Structure 1
Amino acid sequence: MKRIVSISLGSSSRDHRAEVEFCGEKLVVERIGTDGDLEKAIGLIKSLDGQVAAFGMGGIDLYLVAGEKRYVIRDAARIAKAARQTPIMDGSGLKNTLERRVVQYLAERLGVSLPEKRVLMVSAVDRFGMAEAFDAAGCRMVFGDLLFALGIPIPLRTLKGLRRIANAALPVITRLPFTMLYPTGSKQEENSPKYRAFFEEADIIAGDFLYIKKYMPPSLQGKIIVTNTVTAADLAELKRRGAAMLVTSTPEFGGRSFGTNVIEALLVSCSGKRPAELTEADYLELLDRLHFEPRVVRFG
């Protein structure tokens, strides 16, 4: 049985294993968290290299994006280089496609009227396709990249402003230790409400779930959450805080939504192609053939 393993910088408390049927064959999908230990992640990949069908690289992106420009995160490149034989995916090849589709799904399948909806994207440079899709739908945006990643109390409200700041800052930021930018290990389990007003005024809260989880206020009454990589415990917490609905860009496997790195690894394994050979059209064809749809949980 083929094995897909996601090695994550995230908390080991979120580890999960599921047997799934995909493209007509049974696969084992597994997530192994390293509690923020970069060297442990590299060591695990080296030890499993050549023994598994594909790796996912979780808890970190290989690239951050601003418009047409991509910036490589130095720590992520170190992790990716550890895989010599087995293909490794961080989800970036698929993320742009999936996360545009989830915005379309909100409007066309769930009947959410998006024009003038107030959307807080906790981070946009790791989900630029989603940011562009919400903006194109006529939403009133707040991009929280400066607020939540850097602790700078400046909300960005336009894609133009986001691109300008990102293109100036990302060449430097991507060379910093990743732990300075993003919660890893046990920090992923902490909740320290911050910039509460931006959460409270939003109709839709979108983006990376660990940023949402870390900074969300006690009440999410009536909010729509658009994110990914949630566990059963996360669902219970969102319900307790009064969220109206959760939409994840990937479907449910064994009671949780895996990250795009895992789904990309599954699709690469299914396609029979090398990752570099897969185009956006290939991903779209695979997603349609497999009837991939977002996961929707209504809490009402």
Structure 2
Amino acid sequence: MKTVVSISLGSDALDYDFQTRFLDQDFRVIRFGVNKDLDKAERLIKDWQNKADVIGLGKVREHYSVGTRNFVQKTTQQLESLVKKIPVTTGSALRGILNEWAIRHTQITENNFFNNSRVIFFNGVTNYKAANVLHEFTDNLSFADPVIQLGVPKLLTSLKALELYAAGTHPLNKWSPPHVLSPSVAPIKDWNRFIVKKATQKADVIAGSYEDIEHFSLEELAGKTLLTSTISDQRLELLREKGVNMVIDICPQLFEVNVGVNVIEAMILAALNKKQGELTYDDYLEILETLEAEPRVLYPSGYKRMNRFAFVIHPLSQQYFRNAKPLDLIAQYSPPVVMNTVEKAMAYAPPFVYSHVKGIKSPTGDEAEGWLITVGGTPKEIMAHSPEFTYRRLLAAAKLAKKLGAQIMGLGAFTKVVGDAGITVAKRAPLPITTGNSYSASGALWAANDAARRLGLVDINKKGKVKGNAMVVGATGAIGSVCARLLAKAVEEIYLVAPETAKLLSLKEDILLETPEAKIHLSTNANKNLSDMDMIVTATSGAGKKILDIMKVKPGCVITDVARPLDIPASEVAKRPDVLVIESGEIELPGNIQMKNIGLPENVAYACLAETIVLALEGRFENFTLGRNIEWEKVKEIYQMGLKHGMKLAAISGVSGVYSDEDLARIRQFALEARAKLEVKQRPKVLEMKPRRTTKSAAS
């Protein structure tokens, strides 16, 4: 039987003595904690090197490499030098492998988990390799070494800064006793402690030992992911009480007792009869594969994952300035000429965070938080400038989103219409982009179908199609073209309206390839067949221009207005109480949503925003919907993903708010009465034939 002894500068409360079988050999494994007593550690080393096969050193400051430079810790080196007869190890070689493996394992198995994550390291110099690996996935790294080790109230925010820090402070670190600068006992001033706590609260991932982390509370750890080592069931329960979402334990659990990485490496050395430094990377690979060991991803309270998104919004008119301080006062009292100047000036304003969105919880256990980022241009100002003008503001918003930790960004309203509809922005942005148009198209038809069903004024044929006519105004646009494709499958006849005749002809060809039996009519004039329509979708970018004459619309028609600004203003809607006009297909988000007012009921979002949220929940950090040609497969895919994550069609709403059942019943009644009147007017008049008066003939 081989004996491995771990002498740790940590607490003796974690000591153990057990026997096990490892790599087909019998082992006795013993741990002695010395509670930071170096003299006791030296006595134990001298005593046990005559009895053990290998000694492991725990909770010592390891020799480290930062950049191209290697740094030796003198106190650790002195402890190692006391062991003369047998191998000794701190586990640094294996720890480096396991650290990198844990990060890459999690990145793969958890769907791009570390993409743009905000990570704080409590000890960056000894975790430089792990930080270097994480830097492949995120630039949002910070290091608390100066604050914790030296009491300097400043975080490092780049690998370069960490390298300079390591070079500058090593002469101090290498001679100090291991416990003097230890993060768990260092005398940190209140201000410095406050800095570390605030940085921890803002982080998504916290990298450090359990001793670094255990003194933090629910306030700092709730919803966080920990990258740490040697987490026992007892420790996991304590982390659960502090609200931790996920724990990445780099150390495989090979035995009933949790042992440190130094112990595992010591056992490997003993099993192979090798000294530290003699193990090759092939040895480590072979052993790790033999053991079938892998990093542990633990969920203290069951599966939970927090992903992050950003979404760009902008004011749709001068009226929207009333919702933003301090412009609300200016908008309230200023004459139109002043507001025109403000509108022009705001188009040049840098992006800012309008709202932090929290509380989104999928039934799968995935969660999302995000930021609504405002760019200041109204549609009028956006259309008055070149696309490059808007591109620059969107790229500035993307940089802000990246700094906040967002992993994907959506474009809202007119920002997704400008130029090439997101393609250029996606090429130049530092994070994935989506316009949300796939879900907008899906939501629009989802809402239209639900509204028509609830009104009950259309019939369904034997093939499941609506018996009637549907029109898409703006049919050649990004959303309009997909709506046309969907309606061709759902309605007997469709009418496609747009000013581009060639595009209309091409769109008809495309639809007939997918749905050969579709009956399609083309026009450049929406009013031409308006009175025959049972359903209408308006998806133009007319920026407030009059799109159709609502007085010609058929009573009981369902109009879905997906344009922003709306194609049909409230003043027009008010003229037809017998027509149902809905504002596209808004989506009800899962969870208890905390978000500033965006003009919708609580827990409800525009479909384009909902698409960004669905992709975040799914961990699909990729350019999803871009350009003016939306892929039909993506429309179906985002719809299915939305159902998976608990997205629902929101209550049907219009320009005056949500339609109640009573509202729909009233519209239906008005529609039936209006149709009855039309039938009377259109009924052919029957001429009454009066008897012809005849005169008596002369013969009579």
TM-score with structure 2 length normalisation? 0.40
Counterpart in the other structure of 1:31? 31
Counterpart in the other structure of 2:271? 270
- Matched letter for residue 116 of structure 1: N
CA displacement 1:79-124 (0-9 Å, x = unmatched): 1111111211011122221111110011112335211111111112
Q: How does 1:40-189 map to 2 (within 5 A)?
A: 40-182=40-182
- CA distance in 2: counterparts of 1:285 and 1:17, whole angstroms: 27
Change (3 A) 1:130 1:256: farther
**2:87–2:274 contact (8 Å) kept in structure 1:** no
The secondary structure found in structure 2 opposite 1:275 is coil
**Which structure has the larger Rg over C-alpha atoms?**
2
- Matched letter for residue 294 of structure 2: E
- CA distance in 1: counterparts of 2:118 and 2:256, whole angstroms: 30
- CA distance in 2: counterparts of 1:169 and 1:198, whole angstroms: 22
Measured after TM superposition, the shift of residue 255 of structure 1 is: 4.9
The secondary structure found in structure 1 opposite 2:103 is helix
- CA distance in 1: counterparts of 2:112 and 2:16, whole angstroms: 32
**1:74–1:175 contact (8 Å) kept in structure 2:** yes
- Matched letter for residue 198 of structure 1: A
- Matched letter for residue 282 of structure 1: D
**1:9–1:41 contact (8 Å) kept in structure 2:** yes
- CA distance in 1: counterparts of 2:129 and 2:30, whole angstroms: 27
Counterpart in the other structure of 1:211? 212
**1:119–1:205 contact (8 Å) kept in structure 2:** yes
- CA distance in 1: counterparts of 2:17 and 2:149, whole angstroms: 30
Answering whether residue 240 of structure 2 is matched by residue 236 of structure 1, we say no
Counterpart in the other structure of 2:280? 279
Q: Which runs of 5+ in 1 are unaligned?
A: none
CA RMSD for the aligned pairs? 2.1
- Matched letter for residue 230 of structure 1: I
- CA distance in 2: counterparts of 1:70 and 1:279, whole angstroms: 19
Answering whether residue 223 of structure 2 is matched by residue 222 of structure 1, we say yes
Counterpart in the other structure of 1:290? 291
Measured after TM superposition, the shift of residue 256 of structure 1 is: 5.1
- CA distance in 2: counterparts of 1:259 and 1:68, whole angstroms: 28
The percent of aligned pairs where both chains have the same amino acid is 29
- CA distance in 1: counterparts of 2:51 and 2:210, whole angstroms: 31
The secondary structure found in structure 2 opposite 1:29 is strand
How many residue pairs align between the two structures? 294
CA displacement 1:138-191 (0-9 Å, x = unmatched): 25111121122222221111101100111111122211122211167xx59xxx
- CA distance in 1: counterparts of 2:281 and 2:171, whole angstroms: 26
Change (3 A) 1:235 1:124: same
- Matched letter for residue 155 of structure 1: L
**2:246–2:300 contact (8 Å) kept in structure 1:** yes
Counterpart in the other structure of 1:245? 246
**1:3–1:27 contact (8 Å) kept in structure 2:** yes
Counterpart in the other structure of 2:661? none
CA displacement 1:210-257 (0-9 Å, x = unmatched): 11224x233311111110133333222111001011111111244554
The secondary structure found in structure 2 opposite 1:268 is helix
Change (3 A) 1:262 1:139: farther
Change (3 A) 1:34 1:183: farther
